[in-house]
Amino acid sequence: DTEVTQTPKHLVMGMTNKKSLKCEQHMGHRAMYWYKQKAKKPPELMFVYSYEKLSINESVPSRFSPECPNSSLLNLHLHALQPEDSALYLCASSAGGRGQAYGYTFGSGTRLTVV
Amino acid sequence: AQSVTQLGSHVSVSEGALVLLRCNYSSSVPPYLFWYVQYPNQGLQLLLKYTTGATLVKGINGFEAEFKKSETSFHLTKPSAHMSDAAEYFCAVKTSGSARQLTFGSGTQLTVLP
């Protein structure tokens, strides 16, 4: 299995809703990432998990809450989002290891619309 | 600090023509360099990467890139464009010892004309 699977593919939520994005990989990768991508822009890093521990939080608002239950799963919990949070949310994983050039494997993303 | 600059946010080529997408990097240490492709409403797919060794790197779908340290460049080429190559292309850099972070360029939208 060489894929990163993200669910759902599309999500529409109101500003008072609570929802979760899910990401799963079975490649044995020990680093997992959440990115946010606006239209016609490069992905922006949100969070990095390394060996199931949060290692980087790029000053993301608290209405986004990541969770890594185990080495194969990564969740992003959403609460009280704003319309400007509408974007493509991408999950990625890599084999990890400092100083080693592993490419990232990206999922196909969740298209989030906040209304 | 590391960064990449992609020259040209939009590039148009005719089907069968040479594709050249430009990427220049800035890094204080030897970099690892990547090219990703993104089709509409999809995630990013790794085309190729340079780590060490041979400076000419071959990737998927007939693409290749050459690492030129003297020019701090990593341009992406394909001898003959196909309609299916139309997509957004991102160059990215990662330096040894960084906390597993990729830094992306701003992207180049490739249009292939019939």
Alpha carbon of B99: minimum distance to chain A alpha carbons (Å): 7
User: Residue holding tokens 């999922």?
Assistant: A107
Residue A101 tokens, joined: 């050039």
Count, in order, helices (H) and strands (E) of chain B: 0, 11
User: Residue holding tokens 């220049």?
Assistant: B24
Residues recorded for chain B? 114
Residue of A nearest to B42 (CA): A108
Parts of chain A with a pLDDT under 50: 99
Is B12 within 8 Å of chain A by CB? Answer: no
Residue of A nearest to B48 (CA): A103
* Predicted local confidence at residue A99, as pLDDT: 43
Q: How many CB atoms lie within 10 A of CB A65?
A: 15
Contacts of B100 in chain A (CB under 8 A): 31, 48, 50, 55, 94, 96, 98, 102
Residue A28 tokens, joined: 């044995």
Q: How many CB atoms lie within 10 A of CB B107?
A: 21
| Probe site for chain A from B41, B44, B88 (most A CB atoms < 10 A) | B44
Nearest to B32 among A40, A56, A101 (CB): A101
Instruction: Kindly compute the dihedral angle of the four CA atoms of residues A67, B98, B73, A35, in this order, to the nearest 10 degrees.
Output: 10
Q: Where are the alpha helices (DSSP H) in A14-100?
A: none
Q: Is A87 in contact with A112 (CB distance < 8 Å)?
A: yes
User: Residue holding tokens 């990564």?
Assistant: A74
Q: Could you give the CA distance from residue B98 to residue B2 in angstroms, rounded to a whole number?
A: 10
Nearest to A48 among B45, B49, B99 (CB): B99
Sign of the Cα pseudo-torsion (A38, A111, B108, A42, in order)? positive
Contacts of A92 in chain B (CB under 8 A): 43-44
* Predicted local confidence at residue A2, as pLDDT: 72
* Predicted local confidence at residue A58, as pLDDT: 82
Q: How many CB atoms lie within 10 A of CB B16?
A: 11
Nearest to B100 among A31, A88, A108 (CB): A31
Q: Is B100 in contact with A96 (Cβ distance < 8 A)?
A: yes
Nearest to B46 among A45, A103, A111 (CB): A103
Is B67 within 8 Å of chain A by CB? Answer: no
* Predicted local confidence at residue A98, as pLDDT: 52
> Model confidence over B44-103: pLDDT tens digits?
999 999 988 888 999 999 999 999 999 999 999 999 999 999 999 999 988 655 555 788
